[in-house]
Amino acid sequence: MLSLRDLLNRMLQIIPTLIMIMAAVFIIVRLLPGDPASAILGDRGSAEDVARINTQLGLDQPIPVQFLYFVDRVLHGDLGTSITLGVPVAQLILERLPVTLLLTAMAALLAVVAAIPLAFLAAIRRGRGVDLTIGAFFQVGLSMPVFYTGIVFLTIFGAGLRWFPIGGYGDGLGEHLYHLFLPALTLAFSLSAVLMRNLRASIIDVLNADYVDFARSKGLAPRLVLLRHVLRNALVSTVTLFGLSVGTLVGGAVITETVFAVPGVGRLMIESIYGRDYPVVQGLAMTLAVVVSLVFLLVDIVQAMLDPRVSR
C-alpha cells in the first residue's frame, strides 16, 4: 500500500502536468484556422463586425496577456463563459461530464469482464483451437478504428436488429445504461483486445514460475493456485496497461459520442472546436486532464496493493 508521503508526492506531480496541459491547450486552440467571431457571424459578417466581437471577447489582446487572464480565472475557479452558448463553462461541464464518465466506466467494466476470463482460457489452452479463435477474434478489435467499429455495431445492432437505440441518452438510470451499452461496447472492443493479449502473456509467464510449481507441490487446489498466485501476479502489468489506456479510452469516447449522438463532453468538445469556442475547449481539456490524472493515481494505488514492491 502506498504511504501517505508517496501518495502526496504523486498528487503534487499532477500540478506541473496540468500547468503544461493548460499552456498547450491555450496555444493549440488559437492555432486553429479562423476565430470565434468569424464562426459566430459566418460569411455575412464584415471585417468591422469581426473586429468588434474580438474586442468584446478580449481576443484582440496579445497572446501572453490573454494567457495571463486565462490562468488568473482558472486559479479563481472560473473557466469562463461559452462564446457560442453564453453559458458558464463549468455549468456545461457539470451537465455533460457524468454522461462521459458513465460511458467510460461501462466500457472499462465490459473490457475487464471480457478480457480476464478469455485471457485465462487462452493461456490455459495455449496453442489450441480455443486460443487461436480468441486471438483471431480480438485481432479484429485491434485492427478496426473505433469510429468504424461504432458504425458497424450501429448498423447491425441498432438499425438492423433494433436491439439498441441508435442515439440519445434516455431518462432515468435504466434508460441511460440501455442507451450507452452499444457505445460502451464499441469502446470496450478494442480495449479488451489489448488487455486480453497482455494478460494472456502474463499468465503464461506466471504459470511457468517456480513459486507456482511450489504451490502446486503443496497440494493446493488448482483454483486456489490460479486465483491467489497466478491472477494476482499476472494482473500487475495489466493494471499498468489499463491505466495507460485510460487516455485512449477518453479519446475514443470523443469519437464514439459523436457517432452515437451521446450528449457527453466528447461531443461537446467536437462542437466547440468547430465553433472556435475557446473557453469550452480549454475547460474541457483541463477537466479531462484532471480525470485522467486521478485515474493514474488510482492505478498506482491498486498496483501497490497487488505488488508491495511498487511502494518501496
* Model pLDDT, residue 270: 84
What letter does residue 87 receive in the DSSP assignment?
S
Within the chain, residue ranges assigned H as helices are 4-12, 14-31, 36-41, 47-57, 63-75, 89-124, 129-143, 146-153, 172-207, 210-217, 222-224, 232-244, 246-259, 265-274, 278-306
Domain 89-311 sits in which CATH superfamily? MetI-like (1.10.3720.10)
Of 35-44, 133-142, 228-237, 300-309, least confident by mean pLDDT is 35-44
- CA angle (183, 188, 192) in 5-degree steps: 170
- Res. 171: pLDDT tops 60: yes
Grid coordinates given for 84: 457560442
- Largest Cα–Cα distance in the chain? 85
* Model pLDDT, residue 248: 77
Q: What residue segments make up the domains of the chain, in order of their start?
A: 89-311
* Model pLDDT, residue 3: 67
Confidence of residue 57 (pLDDT cuts 50, 70, 90): low
- Res. 269: pLDDT tops 70: yes
- Res. 28: pLDDT tops 60: yes
**pLDDT, averaged across the chain:** 79
- 92 SS3 class: helix
- Res. 306: pLDDT tops 70: no
Does the CA dihedral 81-87-90-96 come out positive or negative?
negative
* Model pLDDT, residue 174: 84
* Model pLDDT, residue 223: 67
Of 38-42, 63-67, 101-105, least confident by mean pLDDT is 38-42
One-letter amino acid at 133 equals T
Q: Which tens digits make up the pLDDT trace of 79-99? A: 878 877 888 888 888 888 888
Contact 292, 308 (CB under 8 A): no
Grid coordinates given for 101: 464518465
- CA angle (271, 192, 260) in 5-degree steps: 25
- 129 SS3 class: helix
* Model pLDDT, residue 69: 81
Q: How far apart, in whole angstroms, are the C-alpha atoms of residue 307 and residue 312? A: 10
What letter does residue 229 receive in the DSSP assignment?
I
Grid coordinates given for 72: 488568473
Nearest to 6 by CA among 268, 219, 305: 305
* Model pLDDT, residue 192: 86
